[in-house]
Amino acid sequence: MAARPQNFVCQSCGAASARWAGRCEACGAWNTITEEGAASTARPSRKGRQFAIESLKGETHEAPRAPSGIAEFDRVTGGGLVRGSVLLLGGDPGIGKSTLLIEVAAAFARNRHRAVYISGEEAVAQVRLRAERLGLAEATVEVAAETSVEDIVATLSHGSIPRLLVIDSIQTMWTQTVEAAPGTVTQVRGSAGELIRFAKRTGAAVILVGHVTKDGQIAGPRVVEHMVDAVLSFEGEGSHQFRILRAIKNRFGPTDEIGVFEMTGTGLREVANPSELFLSERELGSPGTAVFAGIEGTRPLLVEMQALVAPTTLGTPRRAVVGWDQSRLSMVLAVLEAHCGVRLSGHDVYLNVAGGLRIQEPAADVAAAAALVSSLARAPLPADAVYFGEVSLSGAVRPVAQTAARLKEAQKLGFVRAILPEGARGETPEAGLALLPVGMLVNLVSEIAARGDTSRRGARDRDVAAE
Ligand code: TYD
Ligand code: MG
């Protein structure tokens, strides 16, 4: 008996099924299954071809890269774009993907590489207008508004092969090789496949733009993520002008580096020292904030962690976190309750990483704990101190990597004390930076709480004096 063709494809995760359903069994999304043209299930008519098998040991060629000259972009890609590689750039609509890529294309053109920018969303005039606004009107980037992958490949296979091809966006592309409407998962996958083949065949580096849905998935192109060599995401808060370029996957480079940009009236500006930017909006002297000395990739980065701990009106208190890991917060709260005598079961807890940055390091535990206790005790932390260290379930503060780099950055930005794990004591201190090692979290908590008591007593005394 022949298997029934799997014509129904979930537009969210790409799972195929033989029947329509309201809810995708694979990813649980509702109303995402649509019927698409049958994928070819016919047996291949030709026999397998023999190919040469090589030994793993052998000549390795360093992947030939072309740096763009935009340092923040090159850092994230691992030193530039590798020949024949395909990169997917995801991000919310309006975050600045097109702006970034026209700037990258212009940088390649400036380095005398052929750079082609194909827009499936905007007319050439609109692309030109943006370039003018960015001061790139004179750049020798080639532009076209086109959506047919076959036409694009045919056009670019003639003459000199571009060093960089930008496709903005993959959702607008369609290929004749599959029978499905543009924008469907099948089309996106088919178009990406064709463009990847073009890249591998010609050695052109291809950047695909992918839109992101509300829940942060690269819509449709999520199914493309495993086909491409690198996935970058361009992030930022609508209310802030800075943007972070992050590598999620990179076959040719690191995945923990970030690039920081600032969106200005004349395009994206590189931010060489992000700590200054992230600390620029600090409210000094208010309780519930602690400066975390973090590391992103190879680069130290100081950010402010803000906490609000307030009595709850709900049966189950709220725990909300923006920019950090929810389970990490739960762990820190549990340690505070179990080992530090901090009662939080009657309090809502909110934690926010200032400036829209997303932190992934456990080294932020101590800064988070300090901010939380500071808010609960209404005791402002010293404005000239930085915090870092991992908290273990036993309540001990554990050393973290790259202590020296963190301390150096803190000292550079004018901080005078660092609260750090005890084991890190051996690190060479920076001139003018006092090191205050903490062995157990409870010691830090009681020190902050004691400060809260005295400052409240001080306030009461002032109130009494004013009467
Ligand atoms: P765009 O690159 O079109 O975003 P995407 O391609 O990710 O959808 O950027 C759109 C936003 O950027 C728009 O809201 C205006 C802003 N912008 C600036 O602030 N300055 C500029 O120089 C440019 C070109 C755009
Ligand atoms: Mg765009």
| Residue labelled with tokens 């774009």 | 81
Q: DSSP code of 152? A: H
Lowest mean pLDDT among 136-145, 202-211, 457-466: 457-466
Strand partners, 119: 145, 168
- Cβ pair 185, 223 in contact under 8 A: yes
User: Helices 149-156 and 185-202, interaxial angle, to 10°?
Assistant: 10
Identity of residue 107 = A
Q: How many helices (H) and strands (E) does the chain have?
A: 10, 23
Q: Which ligand is nearest to the CA of 121?
A: 2
List the residue whose alpha carbon is closest to atom 25 of ligand 1: 267
Is 29 buried (19+), middle (13-18) or exposed (0-12) by CB count in 10 A? middle
CB 233 less than 6 A from any atom of ligand 1: no
Q: What angle do CA 318, 321, 358 make, to 5 degrees?
A: 175
- Cβ pair 400, 421 in contact under 8 A: yes
CB 238 less than 6 A from any atom of ligand 1: no
Q: Is the pLDDT of residue 149 over 50?
A: yes
* CB proximity list for 382: less than 8 A, separation 6 or greater: 417
Which pLDDT belongs to residue 365? 96
Which pLDDT belongs to residue 98? 95
How many other CB atoms are found less than 10 A from the CB of residue 69?
Answer: 14
Strand order across the beta sheet in which 434-438 lies: 319-322, 347-353, 299-311, 289-296, 385-387, 417-421, 434-438
CB 266 less than 6 A from any atom of ligand 1: yes
CA atoms of 244 and 406, how far apart (whole Å): 20
Distances (CA, A) of 8 to 11, 13, 296, 412: 9, 12, 42, 58
- Cβ pair 167, 156 in contact under 8 A: no
CB 269 less than 6 A from any atom of ligand 1: no
Q: DSSP code of 359? A: -
Q: What is the mean pLDDT of residues 355-359?
A: 82
User: Helices 326-340 and 365-376, interaxial angle, to 10°?
Assistant: 60
Which of 254, 242, 303, 312 is CA-nearest to residue 95?
242
Q: What is the mean pLDDT of residues 319-338?
A: 94
Q: What beta strand segments (E) does 265-407 contain? A: 267-270, 289-296, 299-311, 319-322, 347-353, 385-387, 390-391, 397-398
Best residue among 127, 209, 235, 263 to mutate for probing ligand 1, ranked by most atoms within 8 Å of CB: 263
Ligand 1 atom closest to Cα of 93? Answer: 8
CB 132 less than 6 A from any atom of ligand 1: no
Q: What angle do CA 279, 375, 391 make, to 5 degrees?
A: 80
Lowest mean pLDDT among 164-178, 359-373, 416-430: 416-430
CA atoms of 98 and 216, how far apart (whole Å): 18
Q: What is the mean pLDDT of residues 320-328?
A: 93
Lowest mean pLDDT among 93-102, 130-139, 202-211, 445-454: 445-454
* CB proximity list for 224: less than 8 A, separation 6 or greater: 88, 170, 188, 189, 192, 208, 210, 218
Which pLDDT belongs to residue 458? 56
Q: Which ligand is nearest to the CA of 172?
A: 2
Q: What is the mean pLDDT of residues 53-82?
A: 84
Q: Is the pLDDT of residue 281 over 90?
A: no
Strand partners, 166: 117, 207
- Cβ pair 430, 411 in contact under 8 A: yes
CA of 398 to the centre of ligand 1 (A): 43
List the residue whose alpha carbon is closest to atom 21 of ligand 1: 267
Q: What is the dihedral of CA 452, 456, 461, 463, to 10 degrees?
A: 150
Q: In this structure, which long-range contacts are made by residues 197-202, counting pairs with CB atoms below 8 Å and at least 24 apart in sequence?
A: 198/153, 198/156, 198/157, 198/165, 199/84, 199/85, 199/86, 199/165, 200/84, 202/84, 202/156, 202/157, 202/161
Q: How confident is the model at residue 467 (pLDDT cuts 50, 70, 90)?
A: very low
Count Cα neighbours of 146 within 13 Å in the Cβ-side half-sphere. 20
Q: How confident is the model at residue 2 (pLDDT cuts 50, 70, 90)?
A: low
Which pLDDT belongs to residue 219? 52
CA atoms of 79 and 85, how far apart (whole Å): 13
- Cβ pair 257, 76 in contact under 8 A: yes
- Cβ pair 305, 371 in contact under 8 A: yes
SS3 of 179, please?
A: coil
CA of 68 to the centre of ligand 2 (A): 20
SS3 of 158, please?
A: coil
Q: Quick: pLDDT tens for 172-213.
A: 999 998 888 877 888 888 999 999 999 999 999 999 999 876
| Residue labelled with tokens 């456990």 | 362
| Residue labelled with tokens 């200032």 | 354
Ligand 1 atom closest to Cα of 102? Answer: 2
CB 130 less than 6 A from any atom of ligand 1: yes
* CB proximity list for 197: less than 8 A, separation 6 or greater: none
Residues in the chain, total: 467
Which of 444, 283, 462 is CA-nearest to residue 377?
444
- Cβ pair 267, 252 in contact under 8 A: no
